[in-house]
Amino acid sequence: MNYTPFYQCHIDSGGKIVDFGGWALPVNYGSQIKEHEAVRTDVGMFDVSHMVITDVHGVEAKQFLRHLISNDVEKLEKHGVGKALYTALLNNEAGVIDDLIVYLTAFGYRIVSNAATEAKDLAWIKQVAGNFQVSLFPRRDLAMLAVQGPNAIQKVSESHPNVAEQLAGLKPFSSVEDNGYFYARTGYTGENGLEIMFPKEEAKTLWLTLLDHGVVPCGLGARDTLRLEAGMNLYGHEMDESITPVECTMDWVVDLSDESRDFIGKVAYQLAKISTGNMVQVGLLMQGRGILRDGQVLELNGENIGIITSGTFSPTMKQSIAIARVKKGTEGIIDAVIRDKKESVKVVKLPFVRNGKIMVTE
């Protein structure tokens, strides 16, 4: 079992620890729903130190990343140091190996990717890196804490007055570095907030300081319901190596604007884009009382038209919601098959919730 630098903090805060892909992490600290609500209305914090931070250095770092990922890091250069880019890591068939964020920092590029896919991501990235003059530096010396919610930036500023001014001016998907602390205005909740990467020896100090300022510890459970309401993809659910960006609403992170750029999966992606048999990603609203879950089959007039990729009870909307992959053009009311019974669900546009507001109408 792997332990993050916050492990003892979770125990001390009453966290219910589970094995999350080999990492001992809290699923909740009592009530998942209360933690979810704290993030929507105030501020919560999540230990995301299991995620994989890799710094990319070398004279060909930019060429390497322009080949490796679907989005174009050229955009980062235009915006300057601090900018972040969400992207897919595609295989040659344009299947999604992982989704990740690339930051352009004062010290080079930084990649943050998923823990569950760590081994295969790194094997793939290393293999591609072999053709470029680059060095990869895994940063397990850092801890990572996500502080999320409408009051997140205010709370971090109060507890770290030295960066308050810089944080106040920080735009979405941007980052700033101060004294070994890397603050990024990114997140996985649909709320405003920060993801902070910093020396792991200081994990307990930061945790206790934020706790003192009223930041609510939140577990993996709330992290999942928040991202689902925000319509955000989860690897292994909405996307995997057999799913192209076309089918999981990741088109916007495939950048074809520079025709001369050759990136992995480009040709397969262009073919997938013009194929007529595509599935698309939609949101679903349960019309009755049951709970939608991943793996449940979707039908229209008895014909299989798709599958639920993530489902839950939405604490904000007080009803069940889901993300699904369905035949292109699916709309209106369809059936979800739950324990052999057909239940009506309504096809809606994602996201369900953004910045504390419900975005879908009944």
Partner 1 sequence: MYSNEMKFVETHEWIKNDSADVVTVGITHHAQELLGDLVYVELPSIGSVIAANDTIGVVESVKAASDLYSPLAGEVVEINEEVVNDPTLANTDPHGSGWLFKLKLSNPSDVDSLLSADKYKSLIG
The residue ranges that bind partner 1 (CB under 8 A) are 27-28, 31-33, 221, 224-225, 289-291, 293, 312-313, 315, 320, 339
- Closest approach of partner 1 to the CB of residue 318, in Å: 9
Rounded to whole angstroms, the Cα distance separating 162 from 155 reads 13
What the block records as the tokens of 194 is 């920060």
Nearer to partner 1, 186 or 296 (CB): 296
Largest CA distance in the chain: 61
Between residues 1 and 339, which has the closer beta carbon with respect to partner 1? 339
From the CB of 312, what's the least distance to partner 1, in Å? 6
Closest separation in Å from C-beta 222 to partner 1 = 9
- The C-alpha atoms of residue 142 and residue 52 are separated, in whole angstroms, by 10
Q: How many helices (H) and strands (E) does the chain have?
A: 10, 22
Minimum CB separation of residue 71 from partner 1 in Å reads: 32
Nearer to partner 1, 332 or 339 (CB): 339
Omega before 351 cis (within 30°)?
A: yes
Question: For residues 14 and 138, which CB has a smaller minimum distance to partner 1 in the complex?
Answer: 14
Residue 143's Cβ-count burial label (10 Å; 0-12, 13-18, 19+) is buried
Choice between 16 and 266, CB closer to partner 1: 16
Smallest gap from Cβ 223 to partner 1, in A, equals 11
| Residue 31 beta carbon to partner 1: minimum distance, rounded to whole angstroms | 6
User: What single string gives the DSSP state of each residue in 37-54?
Assistant: HHHHHS-EEEE-TTSEEE
Q: How far is the CB of 102 from partner 1 (least distance, A)?
A: 31
- Closer residue to partner 1 (CB): 247 or 343: 343
Least distance to partner 1 from the beta carbon of 221, Å? Answer: 5
Q: Of 251, 201, 232, whose CA–CA distance to 243 is shortest? A: 251
Q: Which is nearer to partner 1, 44 or 221 (CB)?
A: 221
Give the nearer residue to partner 1 in terms of CB position, either 33 or 136: 33
User: Based on CB atoms, which residue is closest to partner 1, 31 or 330?
Assistant: 31
Q: How far is the CB of 339 from partner 1 (least distance, A)?
A: 7
Residue 1's identity, in one-letter code, is: M
Residue with tokens 């989005």: 71
H or E element: which one contains 344?
strand 341-348
Burial class (CB in 10 A: 0-12, 13-18, 19+), 102: buried
Which of 198, 159, 153, 151 has its CA nearest to residue 172? 153
- Where are the alpha helices (H) located in the chain, listed in sequence order? 7-12, 32-41, 61-68, 74-79, 118-129, 152-159, 164-168, 203-212, 220-229, 266-274
